Structure 1
Amino acid sequence: MAATLSLMKTNDGALLYQERKGSTACQKTYVYQKSAKTFIPVTVDEKGRNTVSIKDHIGEWLKDVFLPRGYPESVSPDYLQYQMWDTIQAYCSSIAGALSLQATLTGLGVGEEAATPLAATLTWLLKDGSGMVASIAFAHWRGSQLDCNSKQWRLFADVANDLGHLLKLLGPLLPVPFLAVMCVSAVMMALVGVAGGGTRAALTSHQARRDNMADVSAKDGSQETVVNLIALFTSLTILPIITSSFMLTWMTFVLCVVFHLLANYWAVRAVKMESLNRPRLLYVLHHWFTGAAVPGIEETNLSEPLLFGAAFIPNYFPYGFRTMLGCSFHWALECCRSNEDVMTLYSSTMDTFTQENYLLCTSLKRRQIYIIYRPGITAQEELEAVFMAYLYVLNSNHISEGSQLSAEYVAEGLSTTAPDMEVLTIVKRHAQKIFPTFLQNLQEKGWLPDKLHMAAAEWRLL
């Protein structure tokens, strides 16, 4: 119990102390009793009224059971709003799952004389096998993206969850073998397991503020269990009524899916992350270069795209430039050289970035930027490399198309006839002059520049 304590004396000289549990309303007073030679709790005030009500006891008990210890200081400020929407979506998902379960049992032949336990068992085993293979494949394909774009992949998991339930509900009506429907549905549910579990871990890491990830995760599990219990009793009550009507069943399912998706959207929209992934960093860079001010955490998170693009095509910078981070140096040299010998590009690149733990290879013609890392690169150096790439994009577009760019961000000495490496060298010098100011502005706004989620590849130039 984290408590604040103060010693004092009453008007009649009795010694007492008070303590409070964290910042909660749970406060207790103890007075020294000479006859007992100890401090005893005071439960009534000077008018004889009980100061600790049953409501207070119940409220504290519920808080201890379902909220992380030390709430609200032990979690992020967006915790309560996120959990509220998460509770609503879990309830709707449970109701939809109950409806799809009934359709699944119908498709397996429950209640039909021709159905055999062996056929149902084989169908179930093949369904599980399909899900296992899908979970391994998806984790390999997009596992590294779950940390970087946790909000987007969380929504993806919810859409996949509803599609899985929809397939189960449609299964008995489709003119295809029910086994195929079950296998496809299992694949969707496997994606839910991988994407949902991975993003839940990322969100828990954001919410835990006292190295209490396990406590936050455990209490989240308790909240979800209670919601599922409530949904269970709801299903037991309404299923016998609504399943007797085809129209009522589908209306209930559609309503649950709609509220489920809306609640999930507002849940992830409520999350205000202080770390920088690619969409948030691009938004910050855009506003800093156009307004010379770093936007706040809440504004940036509210502007982060959740539905399209950010999780699936995260490599694009302004003006159609494509930027690859942590890529192979060989690949970068082959892609960026034009008519010149690759050794010329290699030498000029190494000469330009002799003191840095990163290198940039660029091709203005192809609108491509490759950022190569050396071993031991820090998060701040990675941020500086992306900052430099962004400034290169702005200056390249400025000299090639004459776009308006504030004079303080235009690198001096550029021309439309200068080769790519000469432009990059000039931009590099200018970027390193203004980057410390940008970094300071980031920290002043509460951003964590040492916590980057940029989904860089693992190649390192030795």
Structure 2
Amino acid sequence: MMIIFRTNLDCDAKRWRLFADIINDMAIFLEIMAPNFPMVFTFILCTSGVLKSIVGVSGGATRAALTQHQARRNNMADVSAKDGSQETLVNLAALLCSLLLVPIVTGRHMLIWTLYIVFTCLHLFANFTAVKGVIMETLNQARLHILLQEYFSTGIVLPPNVVNRREPVLWSTRRKLKIHLGVSLVKMSAQSFNMEAVIDILKVKKYVLWFDRKDSINISLSVTSDFMDQLRSCYHAELLNYMAEGKTVMLPKNIYYGSDASYQEILTGEEGSCSFVEDTFSQFIQDLHSHGWQTDVCLLGSDEWRTNIHPHTDTLHTKNL
């Protein structure tokens, strides 16, 4: 089960929160349906139990992430206490309602399914509205993608409330090129890359990008890389994705190249994208901070592979953190 979730529960807390609600409603659906299929009654109930266990993992973990986000004064205990009290009150109200509804719906299957459909639709709509209303100032892959799509086209950094409204909570981020962060260099060595050049790049930039397939950008990180290096590498990968989509990159404000012709020449090829990143990334970070974004916490969903360069022999050692 943890293989399914990997490291995305913190990064995509809103999406996994809604996922837990959907799976929980599916489990209830199976429990209502089970008496109609006596031959597979046990199998259906076991399936429902498995779904509820997934709900327990994803729901509990994302609740902790959202509680941490809501604890604006480092008061997680107070926020957790209020959340627990609210849940207790809701469960009490649900118990009172069930005492009234059970005698009414007993033996009336059409009424049971009608109420289930109505309440499920209300439940999912309410939770969808709730997660869309959460404004997070930290950067994950989805929010960074939305930010940079606007930044590369207009040179403007969107505020957190605008980006959070656009963030998808029903599906993952869709790009032309998939971005994999924290990939082992073993994959690169299997593709006959110049590893001496890779060592030189990692010494300076602390990350290296390469195309694994036509639709994938892999990012390998140095063991000395920090959150800002991860953000810079994703900035670079998003630029390559933006250019691969055939879109025109707008020159950010406060950056001057003399003429549009020289600017377009800089953006051609891999070296051009590296120059663009070096010239614009610092300004992008300043714009992020001025619009209320936080970069001290990185939720870009990096895998655990890091590359260590031996100081005397310049050999690479890839390890899993």
TM-score (ref. length: structure 1): 0.61
Residue 439 of structure 1, aligned match among 285, 297, 303? 285
CA distance in 2, matches of 1:174, 1:288: 55
Name the counterpart of 1:265. Answer: 128
Query: 1:160 aligned to 2:160?
Result: no
Write the letter of the residue equivalent to 2:143.
Answer: R
Gaps of 5+ in 1: 1-137, 416-422
2:206 aligns with 357
3-state SS of paired residue (1:362)? strand
- 8 Å Cα contact 1:411-1:430 kept in structure 2: no
1:376 and 2:224 aligned: yes
Instruction: Report the Cα distance in structure 2 between the residues aligned to 1:393 and 1:237, rounded to whole angstroms.
Output: 57
In the alignment, which residue of structure 2 is the partner of 1:329?
Answer: 185
Counterpart residue number, 1:391: 239
Task: Give the deviation of 1:194 after TM superposition.
Answer: 0.5
Alignment of 1:395-410 (within 5 A): 395=243, 403-406=247-250, 410=263
2:117 counterpart residue number:
254
Aligned partner of residue 371 in structure 1, secondary structure:
strand
1:109-258 equivalences in 2 (<5 Å) = 138-258=1-121
CA distances 1:231-257 after superposition (whole Å, capped 9, x unpaired): 111111121112242222221121111
In structure 2, the CA distance between the partners of 1:207 and 1:245, relative to structure 1 (3 Å rule), is same
- CA displacement 1:4-29 (0-9 Å, x = unmatched): xxxxxxxxxxxxxxxxxxxxxxxxxx
Residue 136 of structure 2 aligns to a residue whose secondary structure is coil
Amino acid across the alignment from 1:173: N
Task: Report 1 or 2 for greater relative contact order, CA contacts < 8 Å, sequence distance ≥ 6.
Answer: 2
CA distance in 2, matches of 1:236, 1:139: 38
Q: Secondary structure at the match of 2:225?
A: coil
Distance 1:407 1:140, change over 3 A: closer
CA offsets 1:93-134 (integer angstroms, 9 cap, x no match) = xxxxxxxxxxxxxxxxxxxxxxxxxxxxxxxxxxxxxxxxxx
Tell me if structure 1 keeps the 8 A contact 2:147–2:158. Answer: yes
Contact in 2 for aligned 1:411/1:427 (Cα 8 Å): no
Unaligned stretches of 5+ residues in structure 2: 256-262, 309-321
User: Secondary structure of 1:176's partner?
Assistant: helix
C-alpha distance in structure 1 between counterparts of 2:121 and 2:266, whole Å:
56
Q: Percent identity?
A: 35
Contact 1:352 / 1:425 at 8 angstroms: preserved in 2?
no
Measure, in 1, the Cα distance between the counterparts of 2:107 and 2:266: 78
Which residue number in structure 2 is paired with residue 116 of structure 1?
none
Q: Is the 8 A contact 1:326 1:456 kept in 2?
A: yes
Q: Deviations over 1:129-187 (max 9, x none)?
A: xxxxxxxxx22321421111111111111111111111111111025332111101101
Residue 452 (str. 1) matches residue 301 (str. 2): no
Q: How has the CA–CA distance of structure 1 residues 388 and 237 changed in structure 2, closer, same or farther, with 3 Å as cutoff?
A: same
Distance 1:257 1:389 in 2: 40
**Letter of the structure 2 residue corresponding to residue 368 of structure 1:** S
For 2:25, give the aligned amino acid: D
**TM-score of the superposed pair, with normalisation by structure 2:** 0.87
AA of the residue aligned to 1:430: F
8 Å CA contact 1:153–1:199 kept in 2: the answer is: yes
| Distance in 1 between residues matched to 2:168 and 2:150, nearest whole Å | 16
Larger radius of gyration between Structure 1 and Structure 2: 1
CA distance in 2, matches of 1:286, 1:184: 41
2:167 to 304, 318, 331: 304
Distance 1:367 1:229, change over 3 A: closer
Match of 2:195 in 1: 346
* Letter matched to residue 453 of structure 1: L
Q: Deviations over 1:345-395 (max 9, x none)?
A: 2223333343222222236x7243211111232111111111112223344
When residues 329 and 161 of structure 1 are mapped into structure 2, their CA distance, relative to the original with a 3 A threshold, is same
Retained in 2: the 8 A contact 1:144–1:455? yes
SS of the aligned residue for 2:220 comes to strand
Q: 2:214 is matched with which residue? A: 366
Alignment of 1:17-96 (within 5 A): none
Q: Number of aligned residue pairs: give it.
A: 299
User: 2:204 and 2:185 mapped to 1: Cα distance?
Assistant: 17
CA gap 1:180/1:394 in 2 versus in 1, 3 angstroms? closer
2:314 aligns with none
Counterpart of 1:392 in 2: which secondary structure? Answer: helix
